[in-house]
Amino acid sequence: MSDFHFDRRQVRRNFGRAAGTYEKHDALQREVQSTLVERLELYEQVPEVVLDVGAGTGRGSAALKKRYPKAQVIAVDLALPMLKQAKQHASWLKPFGRVVADAYALPVPDRSVDVLFSNLCFQWCEDVSRLFAECARVLKPGGLLLFSTFGPDTLKELRAAWAEADQQAHVARFLDMHDVGDAMLAQGLKDPVLFAERYTLTYPTPRALLDELKGLGANNADAGRPRGLTGKTHYRRMLDAYEAMRSDGVIPSTWEVVTGHAWGPPAGQSRREGAGEIASFPIENLRGSRRKTPF
């Protein structure tokens, strides 16, 4: 579906290195998280198991445990240092589990999760068919998937500035909302709803934006990124191109945030896997007689 791929090891390294600085730069992440938490009103039941995928430093997991104090809340992240930081948000009165795992391979059984929550993590999973197949696998029938991710217009000014310097991939690329929606439907998730919103953040200089990206761990992890040091001439050319975009004394930066929700498929509903389809259902739902066949 995508013409780019992320280096998963580099994604892990980037976020691991940023664990200690992440919360100094996560104003947008907190804003989007707050919006997502409000949308949990969609789920009218009392959940038993809540999964926070891409939990980072655990602010979202703490909010989920506060909202659902009787639920088992599990924070999942690719980077161990992030989960170590998350311990500070887990109190002995409202603890939550912390597990290192990839969003492509969640460490829970089939149909075991009531609410799967993910705030600004899915953009690092370019294989959305594989991602949403995993979401469909772990959700209980009627369980809620609620997530946010970045769309392709994110950091468009920085991308344009680098294009003035060279033709290399210096800025992460993200999938279009329509590709995300198609993948959700293909994997059997029910009644998906998606919409996009754009935020414009401002910075005193282009370097301030670059420092923030590094502090968040959102450095370029595109598998096709240039290896080695970027030449000073190219870097200077990029800064000059970005400076030309200065407006009202500040440097603008667009962040396209896609939010969505869907529901776990009923048992037995098929989903795509490779060139075919696969369906799963509880063994107790099997009906019919069993006969011994003589040899």
Q: How confident is the model at residue 295 (pLDDT cuts 50, 70, 90)?
A: very low
Indicate whether 138 pLDDT > 60: yes
CATH number for 102: 3.40.50.150
> Per the structure, how many domains does the chain have?
1
The answer as to whether 265 is a domain residue is: yes
Indicate whether 273 pLDDT > 70: no
Which residue carries 């200089």 as its tokens?
Answer: 205
The answer as to whether 163 is a domain residue is: no
Residue ranges making up the domain that contains 66: 8-152+174-199+256-278
Lowest mean pLDDT of 7-11, 160-164, 245-249, 276-280, name the range: 276-280
The answer as to whether 112 is a domain residue is: yes
Indicate whether 32 pLDDT > 50: yes
The answer as to whether 228 is a domain residue is: no
Query: Across the chain, what does the average pLDDT equal?
Result: 89
Average pLDDT over residues 151-162: 96
The answer as to whether 16 is a domain residue is: yes
Indicate whether 252 pLDDT > 70: yes
Joined together, the tokens standing for residue 248 give 């009202």
Average pLDDT over residues 274-286: 50
The answer as to whether 39 is a domain residue is: yes
The answer as to whether 294 is a domain residue is: no
The answer as to whether 119 is a domain residue is: yes
Q: What local confidence, expressed as pLDDT, does residue 225 receive?
A: 60
Lowest mean pLDDT of 114-128, 174-188, 272-286, name the range: 272-286
The model's pTM is 0.88
How many Cβ atoms are within 10 Å of 210's Cβ, its own excluded? 17
